[in-house]
Amino acid sequence: MEFLATRRCLKYICFFVFAVSCPSIKNILLLDSEGKRVAVKYFSDDWPTNSSKLAFEKFVFTKTLKTNARTEAEITLLENNIIIYKFAQDLHFFVTGSDDENEIVLASVLQGFFDAVTLLLRNNVDKREALENLDLILLCLDEIVDGGMILETNGPLIAEKVTSHTIDADSSLSEQTLTQAWATAREHLTRTLLK
Amino acid sequence: MAQPLVKKDDDRDDEADYSPFMGIEKGAVLQEARVFNDPQLDARRCSQVITKLLYLLNQGETFTKVEATEVFFSVTKLFQSRDLGLRRMVYLIIKELSPSADEVIIVTSSLMKDMNSKTDMYRANAIRVLCRITDGTLLTQIERYLKQAIVDKNPVVASAALVSGIHLLQTNPEIVKRWSNEVQEAVQSRAALVQFHALALLHQIRQNDRLAVSKLVTSLTRGSVRSPLAQCLLIRYTSQVIRESGNTTQSGDRPFYDFLESCLRHKSEMVIFEAAKAITDLNGVTSRELTPAITVLQLFLSSSKPVLRFAAVRTLNKVAMTHPMAVTNCNIDMESLISDQNRSIATLAITTLLKTGNESSVDRLMKQITNFMSDIADEFKIVVVEAIRSLCLKFPLKYRSLMNFLSNILREEGGFDYKKAIVDSIVILIRDIPDAKESGLLHLCEFIEDCEFTYLSTQILHFLGIEGPKTVDPSKYIRYIYNRVHLENATVRASAVSTLAKFGASVDGLKPRIFVLLRRCLFDSDDEVRDRATLYLNTLGGDIEIDNDVSDFLFGSLDIPLVNLETSLKKYEPSDKAFDINLVPREVKSQPLAEKKAPGKKPTGLGAPPSGPPSTVDSYERQLLSIPEFANFGKLFKSSAPVELTEAETEYAVIVIVDASEAEEFSQVISKPLRSLPYDSPGQTFVAFEKPEGLPTTGKFSNILKFIVKEVDPTSGEAEDDGVEDEYQLEDLEVVAADYILKVGVSNFRNAWESMDPDSERVDEYGLGQRGEGLSEAVNTVINILGMQPCEGTEAVPPNSRSHTCLLSGVFIGGVKVLVRLSFGIDSTKDVAMKLAVRSDDVNVSDAIHEIVASG
């Protein structure tokens, strides 16, 4: 018979065993067709340095490059992370969560991001348009997730929050944009319903 | 900012690679940032400059402390502008610059003004920014506003305050906890996301109070939570309550199961999936509880969305490990996923099928996998190989096609980890399935003929040296081994020489020929190879009978910890006295139990079965043998799984492993106290007991840990002389019958059964009483009592079956083979009856098995 005696910290164990986590997002990436950054946002400490972030982006990009993620969002498991992704023209959208996260929740975040960007770029979802409207993309990321916590997943609502300020600032132009945005949203909704 | 940043209509169409940020430079942008100080602010231009700064930060550019401070101060000037678009960008850059405490003070008043603004957008954002950059001292000042914001009628403002509360709870828990009432009100909000954020915060505030969480769950599961995300949270909290409330109630119903089940009918897919996952994760989930969850997951399998298919197949794959029968209904859907475009899904589908499939489907599956293997990545291939290995152990009769499959993929291209997984699998099959030995060894031989990995070659050569001489015709392996001496690098050559020597030592007929080969190695270009050849020629030399020393030297494993040997060798100073290996300490230095530290982290990979530590028996045996008093006890028979003698959370975790050595009796013979036990590291102490001759004895031990606590001088690290005696009452340890039986499978139960003496057979019938959970529960109980190995997959009971036969095999202490055939029947009142037939090499053991069941 054998005894193993060890002193352990009570608190430490409690943390691991009983912490019931809230759905959380580790990062959102928007890369171009060569894997270069258009806009990225990290919420987790898993990648502490810029070089580790770049390495992760490159890894994810090459691992998903050959898949067809243009009609439906695709999914894979890499290095114990779930990655949901979707491509449009020369843009690659990614959302990363931990491997025990609800995949469908993560997918809803990607869909929200994608829909909002589509609305904000007025259906011209490509790298040039995204860079020219980088302020909108960055605001969009800010409205979707706050410190890993999901803020909003509804694409049209996110887009509205991003553009809402222009109503006061410059009504004629932006109202038109918003009407356009809602038209696209309606169209998108009809498409989803008909599917 | 709906307008493009930089309008360059004239030239933008020419270049495909046009970027508004082309040639951007940090220095220039910092210069541009001076426009923030202009008395007449140009809002659009300022926004553009902020975007450029954000672009630089986003690309990984860093600002020095001075640069960041300068930018921050000029940005604060922009609060003068009333332009909403610019204000949004200001909020964004303040968060990115993460100002220091003394800088925060500058913007505090501006942000607090925005928090009380009439524009909701200002309020929501100002709250998020302020809470992000504040250090807590400010919090008391703005607490009143935050509490109001939580119950604000604008959902964006309420969410901003709630999410900020979630972040602040980490740093200032005592303040955020005062907001309970407001948060509770927000849980009732009509806005979906507000409800989600409020529920998350409320739970975090109360998470250490079990009763409060339980109350929260009870009230919310009755009412209607509107937001799908909030519903997912509620499902998680419910599972937590179920987990902590222990198991089923008297009536056999699990509390809150109905709620989880009702969520399977929710209209949102994320809720359905969350509920299905929660059900499959329940502790000791029954087939009846699983069925509705499996049904919804099965529907997901044929969804057009890859995410749904992936989520479903991954969960089913996990279920298949513990409840293979529950997943068989999905097999048809699963098979169509083998050709799925998404390779992660295809791999998960295949490995699930391998777990749930029956013997007849193996060949068909193997054919499909062969086509599929060529176009998946190595990490997926490893998952498949591991699944095939466990399949082979489950259906030993199928070893031929599985072994062929393994040898085929071994010949194809692949990286080291993949090849190693295949080789490991073949080695395990050779060990566990005697019939597979010959063909397996030949496959390995062929592999080393063309193997680019030195490590694998040497491992295989070592294995050949042990297993090869025991085969019918050892001579056929010699050619392969000797080829290595010609063709490989020095490391492989040296290990080939050792393998040759082992053949020479074990097979007398081969000895002269081995000698010829070894003599040729004396002219090798490498000194290690020459030295080994010389050494073996001398030890095996002449016609003298090979004595124990030689075979010990060749086949014995080094029972000294390598670390200790290394330190001793380093300490050794060349002198007349030769290095004495017997002086090397044999006690293993205690190491912190690394794996115990992070119980939250699970091994994952693509649903690979968690593999236990590879050779626990080996390591315990080695530890025991390293203690001189235990060395003459005989071979270690069985080590039971660790039993925790303490609650997992106490400071002293005492784990017992019952080691049944051949000569065990229940009176204490030796105890070996532990001399010292440094803080935070495990140590081992041993006690040996003798058991009375004859039949297995079971009983309980009560354990008391006695120890002396000594202070350690932190400067010198030496323990002080005086200590305080103390003792600690440990949980009782029960020695049960299963500790005397080794789980050993047989490849063909019928053959094994018929080859045993029918006179040793003992048959009896038992009533097992009412079993609420049906047959599978009864079958598992009996298997656990006996501690024997279920054969041919008979441990799995098809759902709703009325009768079942289960085949078990094992080895009883003393090396007596035992086979058990269990026939179960269940009637409409869930009353289970069992017929137990035993055959064994020893009639007394057959009787003993009946006694175990009768008393269990």
pLDDT at B617 over 50: no
Per CB-CB distance under 8 Å, the chain A contacts of B60 are 37, 50, 53-54
Residue B504 has pLDDT above 80, yes or no: yes
**Portion of chain B with pLDDT greater than 90, in percent:** 21
CA distance B827 to chain A (A): 41
Token representation of residue B392: 């082979």
Q: Which two tokens mark B628?
A: 């001189």
Contact B196 A17 (CB under 8 A): no
> Mean pLDDT over all residues of chain B?
79
Chain A residues closer than 8 Å to B62 by CB: 50
Rounded to 5°, the CA angle B304-B309-B310 comes to 135
B313-322, B644-653, B674-683: least confidently modelled range: B644-653
Looking at the predicted structure, is the pLDDT value of residue B686 above 80? Answer: no
The answer to whether the CB of A84 falls within 8 A of the CB of A110 is yes
Residue A96 pLDDT grade (very low, low, confident, very high; cuts 50, 70, 90): very high
Task: Choose among A14, A20, A131: nearest Cβ to B237.
Answer: A20
How is residue B594 written in tokens?
Answer: 């690394």
Of the pLDDT bands very low, low, confident and very high (cuts 50, 70, 90), residue B823 is confident
pLDDT confidence bin for A7, thresholds 50/70/90: very low
Written as one string, the DSSP assignment of A157-181 is: HHHHHHHTTHHHH-HHHHHHHHHHH
The whole-number average pLDDT for the span B446-450 is 88
Q: B59 or A80, which is more confident?
A: B59
pLDDT at B718: 60
Task: Give the least confident one: A164-168, B312-316, B663-667.
Answer: B663-667
Over range A138-150, report the average pLDDT: 94
Q: Is A76 within 8 Å of chain B by CB?
A: yes
Q: Cβ contact (<8 Å) for B85 and A165?
A: yes
| Stretch B651-671: mean pLDDT | 47
Say which DSSP state B143 is in. H
**B 449-488 residues with CB below 8 A of A?**
none
pLDDT at A18: 38
CA A52/CA A54 separation, integer angstroms: 5
| pLDDT for residue B634 is more than 60 | no
Label each residue of A74-132 as H, E or C.
Answer: EEEEECCEEEEEEEECCEEEEEEEECCCCHHHHHHHHHHHHHHHHHHCCCCCCHHHHHH
Mind telling me how many Å the CA of B702 is from chain A's nearest CA?
13
What is the DSSP code (8-state) at residue B733? E
Q: What mean pLDDT, rounded, does chain A reach?
A: 81
A6:B604 CB<8 A:
no
Question: Quick one: what percent of chain A has pLDDT higher than 90?
Answer: 60
pLDDT for B394 equals 80
Cα(A41)–Cα(A57) distance, rounded to whole angstroms? 11
Residue contact B684–A138, C-beta within 8 A: no
Measured CA to CA in angstroms, residue B785 lies from B237, B248, B739, B855 at distances of: 35, 22, 10, 10
Residues 6+ apart with CB under 8 A from B58: A37, A39, A40, A138
Q: Which of residues 149-168 of A touch B (CB under 8 A)?
A: 149-153, 161, 163-166, 168
The Cβ-side half-sphere exposure at B284, using a 13 Å CA radius, reads 13
- pLDDT of the residue at B616: 42
The pLDDT of B705-729, averaged and rounded, is 63
Q: Which two tokens stand for residue B825?
A: 């029947």
Express each pLDDT in B214-263 by its tens digit: 888 988 888 778 889 999 999 999 998 888 876 555 556 778 899 999 99
Among A65-69, A74-78, B713-717, B735-739, name the one with the lowest average pLDDT: B713-717
pLDDT above 80 for B606:
no
How does residue B12 score in pLDDT terms, banded at 50, 70 and 90?
Answer: very low
Window from A112-121, B43-52, B439-448, B602-611 with minimum mean pLDDT: B602-611
The answer to whether residue A39 scores a pLDDT higher than 90 is yes
Collect all residues of chain A within an 8 Å Cβ-Cβ radius of residue B341: 67-68
The interface pTM score, or ipTM, of the predicted complex is 0.81
B363, B371 contact by CB (below 8 A):
no
In angstroms and rounded to an integer, the radius of gyration of the C-alpha atoms of chain A is 20
For residue B632, pLDDT over 80 is answered with: no
Summarize the confidence of residues B670-696 as an average pLDDT.
Answer: 55
Per residue in B516-536, pLDDT (tens digit) is 888 888 888 888 888 888 888
CB of B679 less than 8 A from some CB of A: yes
- Given a cut of 90, whether residue A109 has pLDDT beyond it is yes
Residues of chain A positioned with their CB less than 8 A from the CB of B277: 102
Q: What is the mean pLDDT of residues B597-623?
A: 40
Render pLDDT for B761-794 as a digit per residue (tens, 0 to 9): 888 888 877 776 777 888 888 888 888 888 877 7
- Angle at CA A85, nearest 5°, toward A79 and A90? 120
